[in-house]
Structure 1
């Protein structure tokens, strides 16, 4: 049984990180699995996967322009490559559309994982017929949460094509990570500073803006680390400059030492407008530090009664929560312990086993 994962790229993002973490585990379990990227620009996740030397990596376009993801020429190249595989497992838009068209007349079995609770297409009725056509090309739709399952079955009426398999995190990697000294992260950071951390791509879906604005309302010894990259980075850097927070906000870029950073800070935050089942939220809960997240679809279900939720876009409420955690160590410790307990529900090994069972059932059908 040969499986080909197909995804836009291995730049910053939960779906991308998931493939980096799981492909070696599938290979270890005896599943022959490779990956096809529409676009790459020597991203750290791609480099790391190459270093592991555990699979073939197809790259259709190498450039510094992310818009190359949308090149229609990808369809013919996908069509040629998937012929060598038994199952194509597809992630994200526009790969979802390209792979569906590429497989027409080829007849390979296909799986699509829906990683988000919403997108611009689901909000626009003009796309519904196109969406129905594309989803119809897949043998199975994996929904990474019950919320996504309900939304897409109501939206497209997919019936028994849909299955819920929650994403997972390598909890041992976080548990065993050795924390840095704060001054080792940056010499301008003092050990007495309260460090906040958000790990997420700089995309319109995310809401680093509210976190930066919340920092403006906090004492000067509260400082923020932003891990990730993306098209909104210049806009966020401009916001930091406007609020005169240059010496309190640190743009760390895409990092491969996220477990160590999680263990090194005081509070982990994920401000976002919507999610699927956010791996960053599970990692935040698992970090042993108090975790705060926006009260939005894809985060509410994971974080409620474990971390602390704040109203989407409400920087005042967010700053109040951060201040309470920073000043009340017993409250912070209690919140952190609840998070660690919840994170155990999202162990990556459970997810991998369920995916393998699904692959086998589709392959043998």
Structure 2
């Protein structure tokens, strides 16, 4: 099967990681092309055919659409898999210049309504909650999955270590987490792994609360699994998610994980591992985990038994079946 993936590059975060993992795994048995920004190349396996294309502008420019159509016709894919609504519009409109109308499948990564997503022939929601916002001609659910990676031990850990993983953006709730940690009754070290537009704001908040020696913005890393594995606690502080990759990574690697009561967190984790999205609720949960750690290890241990539900192999198998359903 020849599969063309398209991605409107913003930065390497959740959507980009899903796309990369899917392309890499699919390329083991299928011919895979990816149209996106060249910044993604270091993350791709050699088998993935990369073609640079900027989806940021020219969405309605007929000359650009014609160029895209010629690229697609040269690849001659069986299916086009888009990961953002912007390039969905481009691919849909470019079909005007194509002899063959290649079917378009789109992944809905976030619980936000996008009217133009209705242009997709098949929509894939990454969770049942996200499916409510998935409005293609036909819609299904395929849970995100990740490839398992080996972990290594860090040295000289002498504090209760907490990790937060995600893009540095308001929706990820790191500002709430930092404010809450200024009020807890135990010593700690927090590592926030990720990059984003809120970096300076978060640095200023950390400084204003005099937490410079306790909180570090680590930035983007390739070995996020090591940070999760070497922490006593992973916390997801978001106010909005589809199916968080950080949550899945936690199920694979974390010792204990707690999360805000949004999306499908309660369904996956159970009531005792979720909490309200307020500073006082953060404080109470953090104190409780620290004081009764063995209890939370046991609770989360049951969740970790479900990790095979979120394997990259299972996700890819379901996507291949979805592709085949579109090919006449």
TM-score normalised according to structure 1 size = 0.81
Q: Is the 8 A contact 1:288 1:339 kept in 2?
A: no
1:135 — aligned with what?
117
Cα shift at 1:264 = 0.6
CA contact (8 A) 2:5 2:34 kept: yes
Choose from 275, 297, 322 the match for 1:358: 322
Kindly indicate whether the alpha-carbon contact (under 8 Å) linking 1:286 and 1:339 is maintained by their aligned counterparts in 2. no
Residues 322 and 104 of structure 1: is their aligned pair in 2 closer, same or farther, counting only changes over 3 Å?
Answer: farther
CA contact (8 A) 1:169 1:347 kept: yes
Q: Is residue 112 from structure 1 mapped to residue 106 from structure 2 by the alignment?
A: yes
Match of 2:140 among 153, 158, 163: 163
1:334 matches 2:295: no
Alignment of 1:279-298 (within 5 A): 279-298=245-264
Separation of aligned partners in 2, 1:248 and 1:108: 53
Structure-2 residue corresponding to 1:18: 18
Aligned to 1:78: 68
1:254–1:69 Cα change, 3 Å: farther
Secondary structure of the corresponding residue to residue 4 of structure 1: strand
Instruction: Report if aligned partners of 2:85, 2:117 keep a CA contact under 8 Å in 1.
Output: no
Counterparts of 1:144 and 1:137, CA distance in 2:
18
Residue 329 to residue 89, structure 1, CA distance change in 2 (3 Å)? same
Take 1:216 and 1:21, find their aligned partners in 2: how far apart are those partners? 37
Instruction: Give the Å deviation of 1:6.
Output: 0.7
8 Å CA contact 1:6, 1:95 repeated in 2: yes
Provide the C-alpha distance between the structure 2 equivalents of 1:207 and 1:70, rounded to a whole number of angstroms.
Answer: 30
With over 3 angstroms needed to count, the CA separation of the structure-2 counterparts of 1:304 and 1:24, relative to structure 1, is: same
1:343 maps to: 307
Deviations 1:8-39 (A, max 9, x none): 227332221122222222111x21112111x4
Q: Is the CA contact (8 Å cut-off) linking 2:88 and 2:120 kept in structure 1?
A: no
Cα distance in 1 between the residues matched to 2:266 and 2:123:
22
Q: SS where residue 163 of structure 1 aligns? A: strand
Counterpart Cα distance in 1 of 2:159 and 2:41:
34
Instruction: Answer yes or no: is the 8 Å Cα contact 1:291–1:339 preserved in 2.
Output: no
- Which position in structure 2 is the counterpart of 1:144? 126
Query: What is the CA-CA distance between 1:302 and the residue it aligns to?
Result: 2.9
Task: Tell me the CA shift for residue 246 of structure 1.
Answer: 1.5
Matches within 5 A, 1:241-252: 241-252=207-218
Matched, 1:36 2:35: yes
Task: State whether residues 88 and 119 of structure 2, in contact with CA within 8 Å, keep that contact through their aligned partners in structure 1.
Answer: no
Q: Distance in 2 between matches of 1:98 and 1:244?
A: 48
2:201 maps to what in 1? 235
Question: Where do 4+ consecutive residues of structure 1 move more than 4 Å?
Answer: 73-77
1:170-221 per-residue CA deviation (whole Å, 9 max, x = no partner) reads: 2x32xx312212x4xxxxxxx2211111111112321111111111112462
- Tell me the secondary structure at the aligned position of residue 94 of structure 1: helix
Q: Secondary structure at the match of 1:69?
A: coil
Which of 48, 52, 61 is residue 55 of structure 1 equivalent to? 48
